[in-house]
Amino acid sequence: MNYSIALIPGDGIGPEVIKPATEVLDAVGGAWGHVFNYVELEAGGCAIDSTGEPLPQKTLEAARQCDALLLGAVGGPQWENLPGHLRPERALLGLRAGLGVFANLRPAKLLPQLRSACPLKDDVLVSSNCEGKPEFDLLIVRELTGGLYFGERGRSADGKAAFDTERYSWDEIERVLRTGYEAAAIRRKKLCVVDKANVLESSRFWREVAAVVSKEYPDIETSFLYVDNAAMQLVRAPGQFDVIATSNLFGDILSDEASVLTGSIGMLPSASLGGERDPAAKNGCPVGMYEPIHGSAPDIAGKNIANPLGTILSAAMMLRYSFGLEKEARAVEDAVSAALDAGLRTLDIAGRGRVAANETIVGAKEMGEAVIKLLEK
């Protein structure tokens, strides 16, 4: 089968992590007989430099024609002082809204090979793990196209005050909760809604919607936590969580926190789903946007020291969710695991700052090559 992939390498380390990911995809294509055609597009800082806008209309239009989108990272210090609507990050928000990808899946799992890169003590991990192992495996389902990120904002006439608005409709909450429930159904069947219902009206509304939607998923245990408590529970007992469903802002914050527990933010992939497929396109698979959750890391850009695994794992999520290629997705995830088993580490995942005897530090390029070599059909 042929698949078209919109590719947005973006800024900073973006191109360095995208390249190994596309090489892994091509290796998958070679082994399983798929063809991935890339349509390279500009968004973020590089698009500001070449066109004056972070998300040129033609990037969005071209992305909509593709079967899925793989993005590296956007942003950098040279664009930091631009007004809000011209910052590189606007490209991300424009793509998310423009593709209608309202549900952002951010899995955070502690791989046993990276135990030493996780800052938590054994007893903290073990106490909340149902099998008594120093492990956790959770999934944050973050609402991605509403809330504070997209609410009304502005300044007062005298310039002495500013505001942003958290606003959610019933439908926006319901559809993302459903994504959460469906994910929980094929995991450990627990869904925790994270909000701030002791203070915010919009959070109380989330709970009302959850009370209704949860009735349709009687096999799934629904619970609720205030976000401050959830932030604490994540570092106190991460093993208690299966799926966390939450708003755009809370999901942004909690996913960065969870990433550190997996060893490095460089490990975490994400999938943004829910968009309507352009009916003119061939394969009929839902459009999805895939990106590592890390940023453009300008301080390490161009040095071949970035971790490409978050992007490679994002490509695996693309195989699974956009193309329905479960075996191929698993093979990529297994190859990543095998590369870690072999002791290969980018700098960020070397055991807590010290390189252990059985670890070899490699660059983004070499890590990608190792994953390809270890890919098994």
- 71 lies in the binding site for ligand IPM (CB under 6 A): no
Assess contact for 37 and 2: CB atoms under 8 A.
yes
- 317 lies in the binding site for ligand IPM (CB under 6 A): no
CA terminus-to-terminus distance, the chain: 17
- 252 lies in the binding site for ligand IPM (CB under 6 A): yes
- 92 lies in the binding site for ligand IPM (CB under 6 A): yes
Q: Which is nearer to ligand IPM, 92 or 173 (CB)?
A: 92
Catalytic one of 11, 168, 196, 242: 196
Residue nearest to ligand IPM (CB): 89
Closest approach of Cβ 293 to Mg ion, in Å? 6
Interacting partner of 297 out of Mg ion, ligand IPM, none (Cβ under 5 to 8 A depending on kind): none
Interacting partner of 13 out of ligand IPM, Mg ion, none (Cβ under 5 to 8 A depending on kind): none
* 149 catalytically annotated: yes
* Cα 372 off chain centre by: 22
Q: Look up residue 131 and give its amino acid.
A: E
* 334 catalytically annotated: no
Closest approach of Cβ 96 to ligand IPM, in Å? 8
Catalytic one of 228, 282, 303, 373: 228
Binders of ligand IPM among residues 281 to 300 (CB under 6 A) are 293, 295
Strands, E assignment, 196-234: 221-226
Which two structure tokens, joined as six digits, stand for 348? 């960020």
Using CB under 5 A, list all residues that contact Mg ion: 252
Closest approach of Cβ 49 to ligand IPM, in Å? 18
Tokens 């992007």, residue? 311
| Sign of the four-CA dihedral 196, 198, 201, 204 | positive
Assess contact for 371 and 312: CB atoms under 8 A.
yes
Closest approach of Cβ 95 to Mg ion, in Å? 15
Closest approach of Cβ 294 to Mg ion, in Å? 9
Tokens 């990120």, residue? 149
Say whether 290 sits in a helix, a strand or coil.
strand
Q: Residue 76: which region, alpha, beta or left (left: phi > 0; alpha: psi -120 to 50)?
A: left
Catalytic one of 252, 290, 321, 348: 252
Assess contact for 346 and 306: CB atoms under 8 A.
yes
* 171 catalytically annotated: no
Size of the site for ligand IPM (CB under 6 A): 5
- Other Cβ atoms less than 10 A from the Cβ of 99: the count is 26
Q: Which is nearer to Mg ion, 23 or 252 (CB)?
A: 252
Q: Which is nearer to Mg ion, 249 or 338 (CB)?
A: 249
- 89 lies in the binding site for ligand IPM (CB under 6 A): yes
Say whether 71 sits in a helix, a strand or coil.
strand
* 123 catalytically annotated: no
* 67 catalytically annotated: no
- How far apart are alpha carbons 294 and 38 in whole angstroms? 22
Q: Which is nearer to ligand IPM, 230 or 362 (CB)?
A: 230
Assess contact for 193 and 205: CB atoms under 8 A.
no
Using CA atoms, how far residue 16 sits from 90, 269, 288, 349, in Å, is: 22, 15, 22, 17
> Among all residues, which ones are annotated catalytic?
149, 196, 228, 252, 256
Binding site for ligand IPM (CB under 6 A): 89, 92, 252, 293, 295
